Structure 1
Amino acid sequence: MQPTRRHFLSLVAFSTAFAATPLQAQARLNVVATTGMIGDAARQVGGDLVEVKSLMGAGVDPHSYRQTRSDIAAMTRADLVLWHGLYLEAQMEEFLLKLAKRGNVTAVGEAIPKDLLIGHADYEGRYDPHIWMVPDLWVHVVRAVQKVLTDTAPEYAATFEANATAHLSSMARLSNYAREKLASVPERARVLLTAHDAFGYFGRAYGFDVVGIQGISTESEAGLNRIRTLVDLLVARDIRAVFVESSVSDRNVRALAEGAAAQGHEVQIGGELFSDAMGQPGTYEGTYIGMIDHNISTIAKALGGNVPPRGMDGKLNAGT
């Protein structure tokens, strides 16, 4: 059936109105981020001007993640690809470096000044990639995201600057909360034992001894001798809480607790921490602020610190 003239004019009017619609509704920048933490930074800075897809969701381990066909399609179509670098996405690095030769691809984690980085215990010449654990370090990544968004769409520089400033203000509050609440943990209890060595920057920033069952990369394996050594450490230092991670199997942590119990030393699971991935989308813990608030509050509470029951702003899930 042929459209009527009235119908045709209506379509023209609609098309004209759509063409005049600002970027927020019509042509938002298509951004692909490898991790949820980077995706959150892009959403916070880009606001309504960006459409962000994060490749790695809740509970996904970036150290072993390999790009899928749909990931490749999304990245090749994107206006901008943001990845972490510092050998976090070890299995994707070769592909991302090739893609960067012909696309708008940036490793935002490598904006961190080298003198602030910790050497990688497993790979010579590499650095510990877990910089998001400390808000004062993650500031550099947020600014790097702001820069690349501004370079991509300079006409919206003022909006990106305002959004970044607002987000960095929230991060400054989070940083202050971290220092205050973690300082309330008794000094002798400031030992953080987790599934893998993701908290090195955390330990350096807040004065905690950090012990990972596995190395910085989850690709490393923990043998029986390592488990026995750590059980002895738990007993010798009277460590009463250990932590599991959302993106790493809890098998080794529970084996530690059982080994300590066999020596008459009771160790509780202090809670689940978000190490390499944020919480579920749509939750407070599914944001960078919520992820770090959860970790700070969970660690401080389990190790005898003084924290509010629902975190910095009362948004944490019950039971934290």
Structure 2
Amino acid sequence: MAACAASFPFGAAAQERLNVVATTGMIADVARVVGGDVVEVSALMGPGVDPHAYRQTRSDIVALSRADLILWNGLYLEAQLEQLLLDLAERQPVVAVGEGVPVEMRLANEDYADRFDPHVWMDPARWSYVVETVAAALTEASPDHAGEFDRNADAYLEQLAALGEYSEDVLGSVPEASRVLISAHDAFSYFGEAYGFDVVGIQGISTESEAGLQRIAELVDMIVAREVGAVFVETSVSDRNIRALIEGAAAQGHEVVIGGELFSDAMGEPGTYEGTWLGMIDHNVTTIARALGGSAPDAGFAGHLGMN
């Protein structure tokens, strides 16, 4: 898979607005911020949608075929869409923005040999490469607006860096013994590596993997042994397995609570702060820090959490 389609006769530069279709909300958000008024962006997958299992609809195919530029994560996130997107790349611009992250900064995918963990948006440092990749794709599509894209990208990258500093600060306040993040599936490995947390997903990297009774039992024993006080549900994954952990720990006399709901493979509702990438990560970082014994302001990094 190529991270960026090689060279296409982009005709969109002469149009009033560039028609960009992104697979996930996180990618669409970057395209809107960097593209500004030059672009019209739509996302195939909205809040609560699991990209690992998502299959295209007829309307998706129409939207994709009419796009001036298609942006997808790649790294096998959109597993069910991959062949369609590769086919479309033969005749129109298609960019796998997650593959803009250098190979040496990617983590192995434990579910699939010779592939990488696709959840690169969980670390602001890695996501900055995606911002740069999106800016480059927009510039190739509409070179007359290259200066605007560069300015927007630079301003956005400053926000990413500031959010990264905030994250290091508040997550660093969590006691070392409490730095254990347990969630429904293994979407937080980049987060864990960036901030020094042990990350445990009940399911694997893909939500298509199943968690058996033995896996649940092993995790219950680990929760009890390490005295984990909080586990987390995800907006795009069933909470069934998380609740099984809580019940299993209670049967062994250990109380563990739900520390909050995290955004993993999808953002919050459109029009809300949590419906942006910045808000999504701010929510996650602030929620995790507070639930695991750290110090973080109620309203988060930008003062916007809970203000919707």
Structures share fold, TM-score greater than 0.5 = yes
Which among 292, 301, 306 is matched to residue 303 of structure 1? 292
Q: How big is the shift at 1:318? A: 6.3
Residue equivalent to 1:222: 211
SS of the aligned residue for 2:200 comes to strand
CA distance in 1: counterparts of 2:57 and 2:289, whole angstroms: 38
Segments of 4+ in structure 1 off by > 2 A?
none
CA distance in 1: counterparts of 2:38 and 2:91, whole angstroms: 24
Q: How big is the shift at 1:306? A: 0.5
- Structure 2 residue 65 is matched with structure 1 residue 76: yes
1:95-114, aligned counterparts within 5 Å? 95-114=84-103
SS of the aligned residue for 2:278 comes to helix
Identity among equivalent positions (%) equals 65
The CA RMSD over aligned residues, in Å, is 1.3
CA distance in 1: counterparts of 2:253 and 2:139, whole angstroms: 59
CA distance in 2: counterparts of 1:318 and 1:171, whole angstroms: 21
Which among 143, 147, 152 is matched to residue 136 of structure 2? 147
**In the alignment, residue 123 of structure 2 is paired with which amino acid?**
V
Residue equivalent to 2:9: none
Structure 1 pair 264–118 and aligned structure 2 pair: CA distance change class (3 A): same
Q: How big is the shift at 1:27? A: 1.7
CA distance in 1: counterparts of 2:216 and 2:254, whole angstroms: 15
Residue equivalent to 1:199: 188
List runs of 5+ in structure 2 lacking aligned partners.
1-12
**In the alignment, residue 203 of structure 1 is paired with which amino acid?**
G
Structure 1 pair 318–45 and aligned structure 2 pair: CA distance change class (3 A): closer
Q: How big is the shift at 1:317? A: 1.4
SS of the aligned residue for 1:101 comes to coil
Q: How big is the shift at 1:313? A: 1.5
**In the alignment, residue 309 of structure 1 is paired with which amino acid?**
D
Q: How big is the shift at 1:262? A: 1.1
Query: What is the aligned residue count?
Result: 296
**In the alignment, residue 127 of structure 2 is paired with which amino acid?**
W
Residue equivalent to 2:179: 190
**In the alignment, residue 301 of structure 1 is paired with which amino acid?**
R
TM-score (norm 1): 0.91
Larger radius of gyration: 1
Which among 279, 286, 289 is matched to residue 275 of structure 2? 286
Alpha-carbon displacement from aligned partner over 1:124-174 (angstroms, at most 9, x marks no partner): 000000000000000000000000100010000000001101111111110
Which among 204, 213, 229 is matched to residue 202 of structure 2? 213
Q: How big is the shift at 1:235? A: 0.2
SS of the aligned residue for 1:270 comes to strand
CA distance in 2: counterparts of 1:80 and 1:67, whole angstroms: 17
Which among 116, 119, 122 is matched to residue 127 of structure 1? 116
- Structure 2 residue 257 is matched with structure 1 residue 254: no
List runs of 5+ in structure 1 lacking aligned partners.
1-22
Q: How big is the shift at 1:64? A: 0.3
**In the alignment, residue 226 of structure 1 is paired with which amino acid?**
R
CA distance in 2: counterparts of 1:204 and 1:131, whole angstroms: 11
CA distance in 1: counterparts of 2:158 and 2:28, whole angstroms: 18
TM-score (norm 2): 0.95
CA distance in 2: counterparts of 1:162 and 1:284, whole angstroms: 22
Residue equivalent to 1:245: 234
Residue equivalent to 2:4: none
SS of the aligned residue for 1:171 comes to helix
Alpha-carbon displacement from aligned partner over 1:172-215 (angstroms, at most 9, x marks no partner): 11000000000000000000000000000111110000000000
